[in-house]
Amino acid sequence: MPVYQDIKPPVPATFTAEAACVLNRFVKLGAAEEGVTPVTAVTDRALGIAVESADPVAGVSGVSVWMLSDGGIVPIEAAAAIALGAQIAPSVNGRGQTAVATQFACGVALKAAGGAGEIIPMAVRVIDQAI
């Protein structure tokens, strides 16, 4: 069993979803105060990872977010295969992908992902997380 199995994710902060946010995917600051939206570009600066799904169109606008600035270990949904120890950054759909040179790496994969949709633990990389 992994040594981190009993480590809890950071305490989430509550925001208002300005667009549909999906569980275990990256979110970024929205246009309104206390608002967040899904990450939609590989160059977006992620704020955190959604703890739950929220969709203001469906009447669910509150969303809890694990803040990247808090560190810890959080689950992330993979966009594709990710190697153990790879630097993770957001993909265009807010899932985690292996970071490329033009991205802001948000964490390190503590488990490999075989493909899209897998949930893996990510050790949050707090350095360079200024918004």
pLDDT, tens digit, 9 for 90 and up, residues 40-96: 999 899 999 999 999 999 999 999 999 998 888 999 999 999 999 999 999 999 999
- Is the domain of 64 the same as that of 77? no
> Among 11, 30, 19, which residue's Cα sits nearest to residue 60?
19
Q: Encoding tokens for residue 115?
A: 């493909």
- Is the domain of 64 the same as that of 79? no
Reported as a single tens digit per residue, the pLDDT across 18-42 is 999 999 999 999 999 999 999 999 9
In the block, tokens 């040179």 appear at: 101
Domain limits for position 118: 70-124
Q: What is the number of structural domains in the chain?
A: 2
Segments of the chain assigned E as strands: 13-17, 26-29, 35-38, 48-50, 62-67, 73-77, 87-90, 96-98, 107-109, 119-124
Residue 118: pLDDT band with limits 50, 70, 90: very high
The answer to whether residue 42 is domain-embedded is: yes
- Is the domain of 98 the same as that of 119? yes
The answer to whether residue 8 is domain-embedded is: no
- Is the domain of 80 the same as that of 116? yes
- Is the domain of 80 the same as that of 113? yes
CA distances (Å), origin 78, targets 42, 61, 66, 72, 115:
14, 24, 17, 18, 7
Q: What is the pLDDT of residue 1?
A: 45
The answer to whether residue 129 is domain-embedded is: no
